[in-house]
Amino acid sequence: MFSRHNQMMGVLYALADGVLAAASFGLAHSLRLSLVNLRPLYPVAYYFWIFPFVVALWLATGWATGLYRDVEEQDLRRAFGGTLKVTVIATVVLFAFIFAFKVEFISRLLLVFYALIDFLLMAFFRLAANRWGGRISASVAGFSQFLLVGNTPQALEIARIIEANEHRGMRLAGFAVVASIGHRQPAVDQSGLRHRYSVFTLDQLPELLRRHVIDEVIFAVNRDELDALENTFLLCEQEGVKTRLSLNFFPHIISRMSFERLREMPLLTFSTTPENQYLMLIKRVADFLLAATLVIVLSPLLITLAALIRLTSKGPVFYRQTRCGLGGRKFTLYKFRSMRSDADLLKEELQALNEVDGPVFKIRNDPRCTPIGRLMRRMSWDELPQLFNILKGDMSFVGPRPPLPEEVERYERWQRRRLRMQPGLTCLWALEGRSQLNFKRWMELDLEYIDHWSPMLDCKILLKTIPVVLLGRGAF
């Protein structure tokens, strides 16, 4: 597992343990309070100070013992052993503190109850994480398709690590090798791997990146092969594909600060998309919470629009369309149907009326629109079902709009980099003119968003989008 991803999982486990510690203290207090035959407890106000102290003590002990340093959901023995070690050490420190400072009003039995309950809850959490932790881990890091460049022992070792982390969403798409003179068919010794993978040459890489979902390219080559990779690096940069370079041929690398690590294997990472995984996780959580809230708040409007569509025109309420998401992954986008049910069949006939350049089709007064559909498109209400796409994780509130597969086929190479960010409902183009922009400027704004992304930028775009949508400016 990559070190940054492992750190994020450690933070998530620590947060979970903090919640469990808080819940355990409350349960222990209730249990001790129910034992009426024993000496009565002091009022709960006396315990306010010790409650955060106990939680902080348990978490600090976990960090000190390395419980959150290297998270492995599958290693149950280590997980339970680490949990027991934290419980024993923290309990001894807690009782030592109580006796040293003569805090007589604290019930010793309550603390014993707390230690036992917290150990059981932490153990149960890790038991559940062993079953579902892979999905959680995959949702934190995102599903990643890797292409390995190189025919070295390091490349095979990386392949084995990727296979060992398949439950976390890591997949190996294949190998690419530097072609040797006189060898037409590339080959890689794949002994010891669980699966057999396709092997490509570097000159096949442009078509491979265009036709398949490749999220990251890892270079694990010999030192003398680096000179042949210059064009390949530039190709990956133009496509927006994250690249990593194994540095095993440098024997004296010590610092972990400048490089990513796959376990103990140092990798030099190049990325043209936002790299702060903590902020990206916050973005995903905020998207989910905001989308869930809006679905509940806007449910009367959603129901009303669905009823109007059903009553005013024939056909389904929702329009489903295949779009390209992160890395070119295809997903089903949901919209309220704003056109006739046979609108797609009439697209070819209306192609000459297209009012925008590039591989996009838009008409200002589209004759296929229904009366209610025209109003919905003016107010962008037809986009509201995409809240469910956001809940599913296919989209975000802010990001490049998800294109059609046939549009992506016509992209220039530099334009494909926009696929490396989660698509969204709105972005910088919505503030500059929405449908009135030419295609080249649209692409430039999407790349500008990717290059300067921050949570604050998302907030600014969302706040500025609201009046644009309400006034219907720039919409076809």
Tell me how far CA of residue 430 lies from CA of 335, 359, 400, 418, 465, in angstroms.
18, 18, 10, 16, 7
pLDDT > 70 fraction of the chain, expressed in percent and rounded: 81
Name, of 93-97, 211-215, 363-367, the range with top average pLDDT.
211-215
375 — pLDDT class (breaks 50, 70, 90): confident
Nearest one of 174, 51, 66 to 118, comparing CA atoms: 51
- In a 13 Å sphere around the CA of 149, the CA atoms on its Cβ side amount to 28
257 — pLDDT class (breaks 50, 70, 90): very low
Residue with tokens 């979970």: 16
297 — pLDDT class (breaks 50, 70, 90): very high
The residue type at 351? Q
pLDDT value, residue 446: 92
278 — pLDDT class (breaks 50, 70, 90): confident
pLDDT value, residue 475: 58
- Lowest-confidence pick of 36-45, 172-181, 283-292, 293-302: 36-45
What DSSP designation does 339 have?
Answer: B
Are 323 and 330 spatial neighbours (Cβ–Cβ below 8 Å)? yes
Residue with tokens 């449910």: 299
Helix residue ranges per DSSP H, 35-168: 50-64, 76-100, 108-141, 153-164
The top-level CATH class assigned to 142-272 is alpha beta
Q: How many residues does the chain have?
A: 476
CA–CA distance, 239 with 233 (Å, rounded to integer): 10
Q: 258 pLDDT exceeds 50? A: no
Which DSSP helix (H) or strand (E) runs through 322?
Answer: strand 318-324
Average pLDDT over residues 359-370: 74
What DSSP designation does 116 have?
Answer: H
- This prediction's pTM: 0.67
Nearest one of 164, 279, 162 to 217, comparing CA atoms: 162
pLDDT value, residue 139: 60
- Lowest-confidence pick of 157-171, 392-406, 422-436: 422-436
pLDDT value, residue 175: 93
Which DSSP helix (H) or strand (E) runs through 217?
Answer: strand 216-219
- Domain residue extents for the chain: 3-140, 142-272, 278-471
| Cβ-based neighbour number of residue 214 at 10 Å | 22
Q: Where are the beta strands (DSSP E) in 187-256?
A: 199-201, 216-219, 242-246
Name, of 44-53, 98-107, 364-373, 399-408, the range with top average pLDDT.
399-408
Q: 251 pLDDT exceeds 80? A: no
In DSSP notation, 270-281 reads E-SS---HHHHH
pLDDT value, residue 305: 94
